[in-house]
Structure 1
Amino acid sequence: MFSKKSNDIPENPSDESQNTYSEPVTEVAAEPDQSYGYENNANRANPIKPSIISEGFEFVGTITSEGVLNISGVIKGKVTAKSVLIDSSGLVEGELFSDQVMVKGKVLGDINCQELNIGPLAEVDGSVSYDSVHIQRGGKIKGHFIKK
């Protein structure tokens, strides 16, 4: 991994009067520490880390994320993200647009997504537009289903 080049190597190592010169290391290869869930981290210069709305936090307005949005708090407004996880303590009041949605908490509003997963204690009150849906036993949806 590290290389050291030496131009002038003394012929007699016991001769202390000769100076030794080493060129500085010009190339070092390092491996990434973590992949952050991506299979090939080398192809991603800056992996997108999840955005987190923590329990006890309330956000009012429009929130947009290019990656994963993990909601344990409350969002009142419009949510747009690549992937959304609403934890059991999470609540979204408003519109939700995403490729993948996992609801373990509550959504009061419309959901527009490709893939929807409803957990056993989840509640959704609003229209759902989807490509695929999975509802675990105990999950509740009150509203219209619209298959894309």
Structure 2
Amino acid sequence: MNDKNDMSKENSIYIGEGVVFSGSIKAPNQAIISGKFDGELEARDVLIGASGVVTGKTTAQFVDVKGELNETVTSRELLIVRGTGRVRGTVTYGEIEIERGGQVKGDMIQR
């Protein structure tokens, strides 16, 4: 690993646009979802792109949503819902930031 960008990719997973994955993922670093994921997702950072759809149980320190996040979400530190983001379900968070246009529907629990 010679440059900083390579280091950020180490121990990370990327699900690209058009890719559909069902199952369980545990990534020590980042999980970047631009496709569709259904199942249990655990990572330090979860980044959901504008075309990304995640359904199931999601657990992370930091969650950034530009697409859709459904069912059970635990963001131990910060949950950011961007203007294009939609979160539906039970949301547990340390802090939350919702941009204008962002949607959160369901039960919200601050840690």
TM-score (norm 2): 0.91
CA contact (8 A) 2:11 2:27 kept: no
Alpha-carbon distance in 1 for matches of 2:3, 2:23: 33
Identical aligned pairs, as a percentage? 31
Alpha-carbon distance in 2 for matches of 1:33, 1:87: 27
Query: Helix, strand or coil: the match of 1:120?
Result: coil
Partner residue of 2:96?
A: 133
Partner residue of 1:36?
A: 5
CA contact (8 A) 1:98 1:112 kept: yes
Within the candidate set 121, 128, 132, 2:84 is matched to 121
Alpha-carbon distance in 2 for matches of 1:100, 1:37: 20
CA contact (8 A) 1:118 1:134 kept: yes
Alpha-carbon distance in 2 for matches of 1:36, 1:125: 32
Per-residue deviation, residues 17-58 of structure 1 (Å, max 9, x unmatched): xxxxxxxxxxxxxxx7312386xxxxxxxx725310001111
The answer for unaligned runs of 5 or more in structure 1 is 1-31, 39-46
Q: How does 1:49-128 map to 2 (within 5 A)?
A: 50-114=12-76, 115-128=78-91
Alpha-carbon distance in 2 for matches of 1:107, 1:35: 29
Q: How many residues align?
A: 109
Alpha-carbon distance in 2 for matches of 1:113, 1:37: 25
- Which protein is bigger by CA-based radius of gyration? 1
One-letter code aligned to 2:18 = G
Alpha-carbon distance in 1 for matches of 2:61, 2:4: 22
CA contact (8 A) 2:12 2:28 kept: no
TM-score (norm 1): 0.69
Q: Larger RCO: Structure 1 or Structure 2 (Cα < 8 Å, ≥ 6 residues apart)?
A: 2
One-letter code aligned to 1:33 = N
The answer for unaligned runs of 5 or more in structure 2 is none
One-letter code aligned to 1:34 = D
